[in-house]
């Protein structure tokens, strides 16, 4: 068995630590346009690492961050497995909340802290280790490992290359290792993710910041206009107040619902968040709200003074960041246009409103539980964890997922070792060695079971 | 006449430039607790400057920035004039909007740019020059020049010392040179200012920033809660939606109204602000809204992501800065308590709301137009400008004004050379030499006329 080698024979803990530390040290924040040199360094490191495993590596370049495809041929006649990861990460702010440098691995017992520790360098790490484990063998699948660098910023380059690289991406199974499970002891297969579309709203008022005594009461304050409009985006019951927002929403079939465990553990939730369940549409239960209903969340508002004490200013402008999470049948562009129209219709005289719909939107995606890939993954999970997987959905989004599925022709298989408590997209992101090992074992076992199916 | 010496005999333009440049170079931002050493340096410079004019100088120290009182005795039996200025300034952010370093004087033709160029170092400068002009003479008034360093942050130290220093502050006339006029060609006497009280609102939600996909729809987002509550602070017609906010408001008498020029020049306004009149209570005309009605302005909102692109985060907290401007008979503490109660009553489950009422609040103030001081000032203005002054109110606030009037026992005289276009409290604040000279002339002439009255 491949998986018996991990940490015992082939890899020592030191080697895994070193690989993790190297990987997270690259400041690959894809929303930062000045970070491109870091992406180049990271891809050079990935290329060297994968070539040392005997994989052939090609680098694809678009306008943004380079994309890497490593291939490792399997036994003749074996199926092709395309594995997807990303090497880019979220911004690190608020930086003051990090207990350690986000780009320097901090290892404390079994825990590993860094930006990207889980999302997605930590989950990419065990895929790299799996290829290393298969070095010199003829695996039971042809392996293609695709690692892109713009997942957190709309996968723009990969999106543009999907058609051109269709041949190289062809696969029987398209595995996305960028999600997780609800509890450490129960593995999970993710049968669907929400879609996403992002908007930036800018309200501009006076041509310069003004004194709030001299001008208070006689000039439209962009902050007043913005809070009024943003407050109108939700109704009292927590539903989204944008006309037409729910028009395309299709709720799941009874068959789909019966497979899902829709219970929610509020104690677990409160342990992580410090708060009870809240937000969203009060009409629905928490798990339904998170998995099966769309949302509109404010991700940031900034305008005027924010320092100590007070500053008597009416700011010239204020900005809000919004993302909508979407469910099957909702079209991201159409939904964003509805939100944009709702906002612009409510801009008062004396304010110039601008709404930018960001590229890199994505539709919701669903996988059938009855595919050979899901069966192989479920078998592998039961073997590694000693318990069959839960079937879950994910409230988060991987916009490239449905498009990659379409371009590759492979059945979608989404899973991972993430836990809700990993602090992804937040300060002090972390993972642990135990789960990296479980991920490694599961991936190699799945490759075996996929080979057996043929 | 004293005023004939300015720039021709006693002062060259170079000397005035040098004095201005020195004064604005001190980074005396009173809301920044780390700026105290700058305050000390500035006061040492003021002390040396005033002592070189033959004034006796004492420095008062409380917990915050030091306060300076310079005295210059006048002819025996002459009245006492207390002049008030402040050497502290507003914060400089947004720093990127400044075309030059805010703490380095930039002189372009007749214009002088710097933080504090007008408010209040520029207006304090001509008082210093006036004392210099009177050096070696026995002026027709006893002069007391009080310069404090916390006006922009609540005058906390001076407030605490008012009773203890009552004797030293005794005066017949208490002149506040920290306001202005509506048009360059028409001098103005300010018969009243609005009061002020400031609040900081913090809404705390989850114990850490959370991923808006994984947690979107199941946790109360502090930004949602904040925009809902902030939007509720105003009604649709622009009036303040806080119950009881207007209860104490007293509108002016017909006599007071008849003295004021309540017209407003929208072309002038739009030239400065880039926008038409807006905001405030639509029921009232612009000048009434700005002078005679209270306001509640949002001065800042900050929470979550504000950089390029998007970040799918639900922030752990969000902060808003609020100031209320008050009219006669409104009590700042009582009004702030109403606003605080309104906000806290609307905090949803899952959010912890905190409202801090800042110290340094102040009541609105009014001066009778029928005092000997106002008559002397009006005479001086007509002499210097060649036209009698307008009687105006000021939408801004000098919280110390009513208390200083009370402690000194002097009739309040508020005036200055500020113009709405000076960008005070905003980037690229400026003044001009012509107005500094007019201010100097007016101050010296007023001193003469006040002496004649006795």
Q: pLDDT per residue over B215-259, tens digit each?
A: 999 999 999 999 999 999 999 999 999 999 999 999 888 888 898
**Beta carbons of A308 and B394 less than 8 Å apart:** no
Taking contacts as CB-CB distances below 8 angstroms, the residues of chain B near A297 are 212, 216, 221, 224, 312, 314
User: Among A108-117, B33-42, B128-137, where is mean pLDDT lowest?
Assistant: B128-137
Of B209, B314, B358, the CB nearest to A297: B314
* C-alpha pair distances (Å), A22 with each of A11, A25, A30, A240: 16, 5, 18, 43
On whether the CB atoms of residues A158 and A67 are closer than 8 A, the answer is yes
Q: Determine the distance in angstroms separating the CA of A12 from the nearest CA of chain B, rounded to an integer.
A: 33
Q: Is the dihedral of CA B123, B125, B126, B131 positive or negative?
A: positive
Q: pLDDT-based confidence at B360, cuts 50/70/90?
A: confident
* C-alpha pair distances (Å), A48 with each of A29, A56, A57, A128, A168: 21, 10, 9, 11, 20
Our measurement of the distance from residue A33's CA atom to the centroid of its chain's CA atoms, rounded to an integer in Å, reads: 19
Closest CA to A211 of B30, B421, B126: B421
Residue in B closest to A34 by C-alpha: B308
Give Dmax (Cα) for chain B: 80
* Mean pLDDT across A71-92: 96
Q: pLDDT-based confidence at A10, cuts 50/70/90?
A: low
Residue in B closest to A150 by C-alpha: B309
* Count of A-B CB contacts under 8 Å: 364
Q: pLDDT-based confidence at B428, cuts 50/70/90?
A: very high
User: Is residue A154 over pLDDT 90?
Assistant: no
* Same domain membership, residue B162 and residue B42: yes
Residue labelled with tokens 């060695």: A433
* Same domain membership, residue A131 and residue A37: yes
Which 3 state secondary structure label does DSSP give A42? helix
Residue numbers of the domain that contains A384: 2-193+364-453
> Does a structural domain hold residue B259?
no
**Beta carbons of B310 and A295 less than 8 Å apart:** no
> Does a structural domain hold residue A282?
no
Q: pLDDT-based confidence at B446, cuts 50/70/90?
A: very high
Of B32, B194, B217, the CB nearest to A279: B217
* C-alpha pair distances (Å), A309 with each of B91, B149, B153, B323: 10, 15, 7, 11
> Does a structural domain hold residue B289?
no
* Same domain membership, residue A149 and residue A35: yes
Question: How far is Cα B268 from Cα B256, in angstroms, rounded to an integer?
Answer: 25
* Same domain membership, residue A58 and residue A116: yes
User: Is residue B342 over pLDDT 70?
Assistant: yes
Looking at residue B10, its pLDDT comes to 61
Interface ipTM: 0.86
pTM for this structure?
0.86
On whether the CB atoms of residues A152 and A86 are closer than 8 A, the answer is yes
Of B90, B217, B275, the CB nearest to A290: B217
**Beta carbons of B213 and A276 less than 8 Å apart:** no
> Does a structural domain hold residue B257?
no
Render pLDDT for B176-197 as a digit per residue (tens, 0 to 9).
999 999 999 999 999 999 999 9
* pLDDT > 90 fraction of chain B, expressed in percent and rounded: 85
Question: How far is Cα B175 from Cα A120, in angstroms, rounded to an integer?
Answer: 66
Helices (H) and strands (E) in chain B, counts: 13, 18
Q: pLDDT-based confidence at A2, cuts 50/70/90?
A: very low
User: Is residue A5 over pLDDT 80?
Assistant: no
Residue in A closest to B211 by C-alpha: A425
* Same domain membership, residue B305 and residue B403: no
Q: Which two tokens stand for residue B289?
A: 């809204």
On whether the CB atoms of residues B394 and B291 are closer than 8 A, the answer is yes
Taking contacts as CB-CB distances below 8 angstroms, the residues of chain B near A223 are 230, 298-301
Closest CA to A217 of B124, B146, B326: B326
Q: Determine the distance in angstroms separating the CA of B73 from the nearest CA of chain A, rounded to an integer.
A: 36
**Neighbouring C-alpha atoms within 13 Å toward the C-beta of B69:** 16
* Same domain membership, residue B153 and residue B25: yes
Looking at residue A1, its pLDDT comes to 39
Report the CATH number at residue A116: 3.40.630.10
**Beta carbons of B295 and A395 less than 8 Å apart:** no
Residue B274: Cβ within 10 Å count: 16
* Same domain membership, residue B200 and residue B100: no
If you average pLDDT over every residue of chain B, what do you get? 94
Q: Could you tell me if residue A350 is left (phi over 0), alpha (psi between -120 and 50 degrees) or otherwise beta?
A: left
> Does a structural domain hold residue B285?
no
Last residue of a domain, one of A322, A338, A357: A357
Residue in B closest to A221 by C-alpha: B279
Residue in A closest to B309 by C-alpha: A31
> Does a structural domain hold residue A265?
no
Report the CATH number at residue B349: 3.30.70.360
Question: How far is Cα A202 from Cα B257, in angstroms, rounded to an integer?
Answer: 40
Residue labelled with tokens 């298969």: A134
User: Is residue B3 over pLDDT 70?
Assistant: no
* Same domain membership, residue A182 and residue A92: yes
Q: pLDDT-based confidence at B93, cuts 50/70/90?
A: confident
> Does a structural domain hold residue A277?
no
* Same domain membership, residue A299 and residue A200: yes
* pLDDT > 70 fraction of chain B, expressed in percent and rounded: 97
Last residue of a domain, one of A329, A357, A385: A357
User: Is residue A123 over pLDDT 80?
Assistant: yes
Q: Which two tokens stand for residue A387?
A: 């318990």
User: Is residue B366 over pLDDT 80?
Assistant: yes
Render pLDDT for A354-398 as a digit per residue (tens, 0 to 9).
999 998 789 999 999 999 999 999 999 999 999 999 999 999 998
Which 3 state secondary structure label does DSSP give A48? helix
User: Is residue B303 over pLDDT 90?
Assistant: yes
* Same domain membership, residue A140 and residue A126: yes
Last residue of a domain, one of A319, A342, A357: A357
Question: How far is Cα A251 from Cα A263, in angstroms, rounded to an integer?
Answer: 17
Length of chain B: 454
Q: Determine the distance in angstroms separating the CA of B395 from the nearest CA of chain A, rounded to an integer.
A: 5
Looking at residue B454, its pLDDT comes to 59
**Beta carbons of A309 and B97 less than 8 Å apart:** no
How many structural domains compose chain B?
Answer: 2
Taking contacts as CB-CB distances below 8 angstroms, the residues of chain A near B315 are 299-300
Of A94, A221, A226, the CB nearest to B297: A221
Of A219, A295, A313, the CB nearest to B425: A313
Q: Determine the distance in angstroms separating the CA of A9 from the nearest CA of chain B, rounded to an integer.
A: 37
Looking at residue A454, its pLDDT comes to 59
* C-alpha pair distances (Å), A159 with each of A83, A149, A404, A425: 16, 12, 8, 22
User: Is residue A142 over pLDDT 90?
Assistant: yes
> Does a structural domain hold residue B267?
no
Q: Which residue has the higher pLDDT, B177 or B63?
A: B177
Q: Determine the distance in angstroms separating the CA of A224 from the nearest CA of chain B, rounded to an integer.
A: 7
Q: Which residue has the higher pLDDT, A8 or B352?
A: B352
**Beta carbons of B234 and A223 less than 8 Å apart:** no
If you average pLDDT over every residue of chain A, what do you get? 94
Q: pLDDT-based confidence at A9, cuts 50/70/90?
A: very low
Question: How far is Cα A200 from Cα B371, in angstroms, rounded to an integer?
Answer: 56
Looking at residue B357, its pLDDT comes to 97
Give the helix/strand (H/E) hosting A228: helix A222-231
Question: How far is Cα B317 from Cα B309, in angstroms, rounded to an integer?
Answer: 21
Q: Determine the distance in angstroms separating the CA of B298 from the nearest CA of chain A, rounded to an integer.
A: 6
* Same domain membership, residue B409 and residue B369: yes
The end-to-end CA distance of chain B, in Å, is: 19
* Same domain membership, residue A421 and residue A306: no
């Amino acid at each position: 068995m491949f998986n018996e080698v991990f940490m015992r024979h082939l890899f020592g803990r030191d080697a895994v630590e070193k690989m993790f530390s190297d990987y997270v040290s690259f400041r690959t924040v894809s929303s930062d346009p000045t970070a491109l040199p870091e992406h180049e360094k990271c891809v050079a490191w990935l290329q060297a690492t994968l070539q040392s495993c005997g994989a052939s590596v090609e680098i694809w370049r678009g306008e943004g961050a380079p994309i890497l495809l490593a291939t490792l041929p399997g036994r003749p006649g074996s199926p092709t497995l395309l594995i997807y990861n990303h090497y880019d990460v979220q911004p690190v702010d608020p930086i003051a909340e990090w207990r350690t440098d986000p780009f320097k691995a901090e290892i404390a017992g079994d825990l590993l802290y860094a930006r990207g520790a889980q999302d997605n360098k930590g989950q990419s790490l065990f895929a790299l280790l799996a290829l290393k484990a298969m070095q010199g063998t003829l695996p039971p699948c042809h392996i293609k490992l695709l690692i892109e660098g713009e997942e957190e910023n709309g996968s723009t380059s990969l999106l543009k290359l999907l058609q051109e690289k269709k041949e190289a991406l062809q696969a029987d199974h398209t595995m996305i290792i960028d999600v997780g499970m609800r509890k450490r002891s129960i593995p999970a297969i993710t049968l669907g993710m929400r879609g996403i579309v992002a908007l930036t709203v800018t309200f501009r008022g006076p041509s310069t910041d003004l004194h709030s005594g001299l001008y208070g009461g006689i000039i439209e304050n962009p902050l007043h206009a913005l809070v009024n409009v943003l407050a109108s985006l939700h109704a009292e019951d927590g539903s989204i107040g944008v006309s037409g927002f729910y028009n395309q929403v299709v709720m799941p079939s009874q068959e789909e619902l019966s497979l899902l465990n829709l219970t929610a553990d509020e104690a677990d939730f409160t342990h992580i968040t410090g708060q009870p369940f809240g937000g969203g549409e009060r009409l629905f239960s928490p798990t339904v709200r998170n998995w099966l209903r769309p949302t509109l969340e404010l991700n940031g508002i900034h305008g005027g003074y924010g320092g100590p004490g007070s500053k008597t200013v009416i700011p010239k402008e204020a900005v809000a960041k919004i993302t909508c999470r979407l469910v099957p049948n909702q079209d991201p562009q159409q939904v964003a246009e509805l939100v944009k129209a709702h906002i612009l219709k409510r801009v008062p005289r004396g304010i110039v409103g601008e709404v930018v719909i960001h590229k890199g939107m994505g539709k919701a995606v669903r996988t059938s539980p009855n595919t050979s890939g899901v069966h192989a993954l479920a078998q592998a999970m039961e073997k590694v964890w000693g318990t069959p997987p839960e079937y879950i959905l994910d409230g988060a989004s991987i916009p490239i997922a449905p498009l990659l599925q379409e371009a590759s022709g492979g059945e979608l298989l989404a899973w991972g070792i993430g836990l809700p408590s990993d602090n992804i997209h937040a300060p002090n992101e972390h993972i642990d060695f135990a789960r990296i090992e479980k991920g490694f074992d599961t991936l190699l076992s799945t490759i075996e079971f996929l080979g057996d199916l043929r």
